[in-house]
Structure formats: C-alpha cells, structure tokens
C-alpha cells in the first residue's frame, strides 16, 4: 500500500505504480506523441515550403515544443493525470496528498521529463524510479506527485462486506481525522473475517472496535445499529472520501461496486452481507418434578405392580 496521507491524516489505500507499468505507459504516450509530431511536421513543411532556413528552423522548434512537450502537459492537466498510456495501463498521476494534479504539477513533470526521458532515452527516469521507495522519477519528486494504480486486483481474503443500504451516506459529516491507521486496519481485518468467527466472539470484538471508533470520532453510534454494520458503514464512508480526494470525482458507493464485482466471478462478493447478532444463552428445558410416591396423583395413574400371576378369567 502507499503512504499517501490526506488532509485528515488518513492514509490512502492506493498502490504506487511499478516501473514496468509506468514504462509501458510512457512508451504508449511517446508513440502517440511522435505520430502526431510527424503528421504535424509533414503538414507544416508542405505549407511553409517557401520560407527561408531561419523561419523553417523556428517553426520546427516551435512544433517540437508544442507537440512533444506542450501536448503531454495539456493532456495531463485536462485529464487530471490520465494520459492515453496511463489510461491503457490503469495508472493515474496524483499529488502527494492524494488530490488531483493541476497545471503547475504537469508543467514541472513535463519540463523535467524532457531531460530524463527524451534526452537520455529514459535512463535517468528508470534509475530514479528504481532508487525511489515509491517508484517516483525526478519529475515526480520536483512536482510533488506520484503515479498510482487505479485498477487494483482485490483478493478473496481482502473482501470487505458493504454496509446495509440504509446506512450508506449516514456518516458523511463524521470527523475521521482522529482515527489512527492501526484501528482502521483492525476494523478491516475484522470485517473481512467476521464470517469465520464464533458469533459470540465476533459480537464482542465488534462492540470493542465500535467503542474505540466512537471514542476517536467523538460521535455516538446510532441506536439499534449492530456494531458490525456500524463499522462497515464508517469504513465505507472513509473509502468514499479517499476516492473523491484521490480521483476528483464522485465514485459509486462501495456497496454497489461490490455488487457489480460479484457478478464478475468472485463467488460471494456480491451477496448481501450478514452481520452477527447477539447470541442469547440457551436455557435448559423446564420439567415438572416427579410426584411423591404416596400422593394421589401418583397412585391413580400408576399401573399395578407386576406379580408374575395372570389375572383370573
């Protein structure tokens, strides 16, 4: 996982892109940029054949700067960090705090990229990405950006059940800045394994985690809501905030996302979540005490004692 920290001091659950996927995205972008550059150059040469050498050189330099440098900067700015190559590889450029990039970030990345990608054929960018702990090249370091993976494969063991539909969006005003990352991890681990726990153990664990979460947020949990459902709803709200901050757009609710993923082949992912309920102790069945031997009730319905003799005919 990445170490991106939002303004609420919450770590984003995003994965930095690795060097192979970034290199493939750069190759796709360069192929498209050079194709556009060659097409524009041919058109300009055909229309400016009457110019002198100095004017032709100026036009060539301007075309190079506008197409190979200005083009990628404009694309990253308008698409908020998603060029054609990154879109094909499922990558995106975000700020260090997880927010969408702006023109100044794209400008610094593009200007430094001329040196570390175009002039050195990507050698400097590859070395910097291998040395960096989060795979950042020099342009990312100077611009304060990071390339992350948008399409993250979710394993069966990491499936977090969605909250009940009537709880989605109920905690949009909750302050989550005081919740530590360790508590988020404990809640996530509980939600992914609650179906494997004993009902009594799971209920007690959910109550303890819900109590810790209420203490950190300062807002009491709604009355009548099971602790596990409350934890799932707050986790859903946190993920929705992270998605909006990282990608700059409204994301589909986590419950709907999981429902759609379940149809894709992950068995059980799209089924409705079943949250544990308090287990009542089973009481032993009550039976009436036996009647005394000398009581009338015992003597009236009791069969006669066996004597070994047959009754007279």
Q: Would you state the pLDDT for residue 247? A: 67
Average pLDDT of 69-85? 91
Enter the tokens of residue 231.
């934890």
Alpha carbon distance 174, 165 (integer Å): 18
Question: CB–CB of 97/7 below 8 Å?
Answer: yes
Domain boundaries, the chain: 15-149, 156-262
Kindly indicate the confidence band of residue 153, based on its pLDDT and cuts at 50, 70 and 90. Answer: low
Percent of the chain scoring above 70 in pLDDT: 71
How many helices (H) and strands (E) would you count in the chain?
A: 12, 3
Residue 29, judged by CB atoms within 10 A of its CB (0-12, 13-18, 19+), counts as: buried
Residue for token pair 């200007």 = 111
Q: Would you state the pLDDT for residue 276? A: 59
Residue for token pair 């190759």 = 27
Alpha carbon distance 306, 186 (integer Å): 70
Per-residue pLDDT of 160-205, as tens digits, reads: 788 888 888 888 888 888 888 888 888 888 888 888 888 888 888 8
């Amino acid at each position: 996982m990445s170490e991106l920290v939002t303004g609420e001091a919450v770590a984003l659950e995003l994965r930095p892109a690795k060097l192979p996927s970034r290199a493939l995205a750069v190759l796709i972008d360069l192929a498209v940029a050079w194709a556009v550059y060659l097409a524009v150059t041919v058109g300009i040469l055909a229309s400016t054949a009457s110019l002198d050498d100095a004017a032709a050189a100026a036009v060539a330099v301007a075309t190079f700067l506008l197409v190979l440098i200005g083009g990628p900067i404009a694309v990253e700015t308008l698409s908020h960090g998603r060029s054609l190559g990154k879109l094909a590889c499922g990558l995106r450029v975000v700020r260090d705090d997880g927010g969408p990039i702006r023109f100044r970030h794209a400008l610094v990345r593009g200007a430094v990229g001329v040196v570390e990608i175009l002039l050195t054929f990507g050698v400097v960018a590859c070395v910097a990405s291998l040395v960096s702990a989060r795979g950042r090249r020099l342009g990312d370091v100077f611009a304060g950006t990071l390339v992350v993976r948008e399409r993250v494969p979710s394993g069966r063991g990491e499936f977090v059940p969605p909250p009940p539909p009537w709880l989605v969006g109920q905690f949009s005003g909750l302050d989550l800045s005081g919740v530590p990352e360790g508590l988020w991890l404990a809640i996530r681990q509980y939600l992914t394994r609650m179906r494997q726990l004993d009902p009594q153990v799971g209920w007690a664990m959910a109550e303890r985690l819900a109590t810790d979460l209420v203490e950190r947020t300062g807002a009491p949990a709604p009355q009548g809501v099971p602790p596990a459902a409350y934890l799932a709803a707050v986790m859903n709200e946190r993920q929705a905030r992270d998605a909006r901050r990282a990608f700059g757009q409204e994301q589909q609710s986590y419950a709907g996302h999981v429902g759609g993923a379940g149809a894709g082949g992950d068995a059980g992912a799209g089924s409705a979540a079943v949250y544990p309920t308090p287990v009542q102790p089973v009481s032993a069945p009550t039976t009436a005490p036996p009647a005394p031997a000398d009581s009338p009730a015992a003597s009236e319905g009791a069969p006669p004692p066996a004597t070994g003799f047959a009754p007279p005919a």
